[in-house]
Amino acid sequence: MDRRANLVTMLPDAPDYPLRLTIDSAALVANWRALDRLSGSAVAAAAVKADAYGLGARRVVPLLHDAGCQTFYVAHWAEAAELADLVPPESLVVLHGPMDGRDAAFAQASGIKPVINSLHQARLWLEAGGGSCDLMVDTGMNRIGIAMGDLGDPLIARLAIDTLHSHLASADEQSPLNEVQRKRWLDARGQIAHRRAALANSAGIALGAGYHGDITRPGLALYGGVPAAGLAGHICQVAIPQARLIQCRSLQAGDTVGYNATFTAQGPLEIGVVSLGYADGFLRCWSGLGAMHAGGATLPVLGRVSMDMTAIDLTAAPHLAEGDWVSVEYSLPEASAISGLSQYELLTSLGRRFQR
């Protein structure tokens, strides 16, 4: 064991993975400012759950805070704890609320704000000492949130509610449910005391002023997603996955590429094998459909995507060599249309091997 430990201490620092996720900080900030402007008299917060949708919350939060964002939403208490040294504790809000007394005690000690989603959570919070909290009301999504019929419960009347939330199920569609939910949200606002109210996510912002309340909760659009036509032209691409070429190969007519030989060369062809695969979130749905770029050249994906490797056509960039970098075609609306994945999945599935 000692010999092994000594060997480890003698090794140089491990090399980085041959994958990087370039984050355009200026585009991220520009997106938040655009969403804040589109929110009208409401102010835009930021959903930074799931490690800022996979882009790195510890990088994203300070950038947005410096730009003027004052409220950050996460799903879990552990996520909030990881960000607690970056912003004032009252800026962090945990959407899933306290699930037990330990969560409630952590909220009390840290000053991080819980969202109360049930009568059980209301009781936990009050028994822990209460204080400022948010409240989620279920207006038709049937996910989490206080039922409309429970708004008159005495426990709710005892809460010191900062922001009264609800969440739209179909904000990205012209659905009658949007107006149904908006009216129920307004009804809830009339029943219980609160300081502010919030309903709109990224797509909800595009539905107009009647959905904005006092604070909006954009998430996907911050990171380059366009979930509603009304946001097109306002949102910039933020995330650009890049990978290195492991090997360049020359094929002849009849040669096949990858598992199950789904691509066959029709003539002489130069291809590259890239260090990127479905283990990194570049899923098999991109097989024969995706593309990469280098210096303005488009490099189509050939054959099946493997766990750690993908083959690309180098015809348009014959100068590329092993070790060179290529960028993945990953503008979220277009990538979603090609792959069949949602824009959310495209971001959050990008794996830990990317150097962000």
d(CA 223, CA 206) in angstroms, rounded, equals: 16
Residue 188, exposed/middle/buried by CB under 10 A (0-12, 13-18, 19+)?
A: buried
Calculate the alpha carbon distances from 214 to 2, 29, 180, 196, 222 in Å.
Answer: 61, 21, 19, 6, 19
Q: Establish whether 17 is a catalytic residue.
A: no
SS3 at position 163: strand
SS3 at position 166: coil
The residue type at 113: K
- 1 touches 9 (CB < 8 A): no
SS3 at position 269: strand
d(CA 135, CA 113) in angstroms, rounded, equals: 10
Residues facing residue 163 across a β-bridge? 196
d(CA 222, CA 245) in angstroms, rounded, equals: 30
Q: What is the CA radius of gyration of the chain?
A: 24
3-state secondary structure 212-248: CCCEECCCHHHHCCCCCHHHCCCCCCCEEEEEEEEEE
From the list 49, 53, 113, 211, the catalytic residue is: 49
From the list 183, 259, 278, 344, the catalytic residue is: 259
Q: Establish whether 259 is a catalytic residue.
A: yes
Q: Which residues are catalytic?
A: 49, 259
